[in-house]
């Protein structure tokens, strides 16, 4: 009989979430994802998830939204003067939950990039 321990299930779930985020980014931004390649994208998503967890984000949707924001603004966007507004929001306790804060940031970033496509990252750094 095959026995899967709780710790093993957690690893499977984490991998499933990471793969889901990678596929989201690949399908939403095929040119940029192709430019960094499969391994670069995997490393990027792993780094974004580590950063998200430092903000106590744990739900798959939170991790996806945070990774999306990182993909658009760059890893460490919270401390970048160009995106200080997003860093301020993510640390703001007025939001009842992380998902609502991330949604506001994500929506705002997408709108900003639609207005000024030149601001979109040409290459995502991992």
pLDDT tens, residue by residue, 47-62: 999 999 998 899 999 9
More confident of the two residues 94 and 117? 94
* CB contact burial 31-46 (16+ within 10 A = b; e otherwise): ebbeebeeebbbebbb
Please classify residue 50 by burial: count the beta carbons closer than 10 Å to its beta carbon, then call 0-12 exposed, 13-18 middle and 19+ buried: exposed
More confident residue, 97 or 9: 97
- Rounded Cα distance between 46 and 67, Å, is 9
Task: Decide: helix, strand or coil at residue 93.
Answer: coil
Q: What is the CA radius of gyration of the chain?
A: 15
Q: Are 61 and 39 in contact (CB under 8 A)?
A: no
pLDDT at residue 122, as a whole number: 42
Question: Is 70 exceeded by the pLDDT of residue 6?
Answer: no
């Amino acid at each position: 009989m095959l026995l899967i321990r709780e710790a093993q299930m957690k690893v499977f779930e984490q991998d499933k979430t990471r793969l889901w985020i990678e596929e989201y980014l690949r399908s939403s931004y095929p040119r940029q994802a192709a430019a960094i390649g499969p391994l670069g994208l995997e490393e990027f998503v792993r780094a974004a998830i580590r950063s998200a967890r430092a903000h106590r984000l744990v739900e798959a949707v939170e991790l996806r939204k945070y990774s999306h924001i990182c993909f658009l603004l760059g890893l460490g966007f919270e401390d970048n003067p160009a995106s200080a507004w997003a860093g301020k929001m993510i640390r703001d306790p007025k939001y009842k939950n992380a998902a609502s804060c991330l949604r506001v940031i994500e929506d705002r970033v997408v709108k900003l990039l639609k207005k000024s496509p030149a601001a979109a990252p040409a290459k995502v750094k991992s």
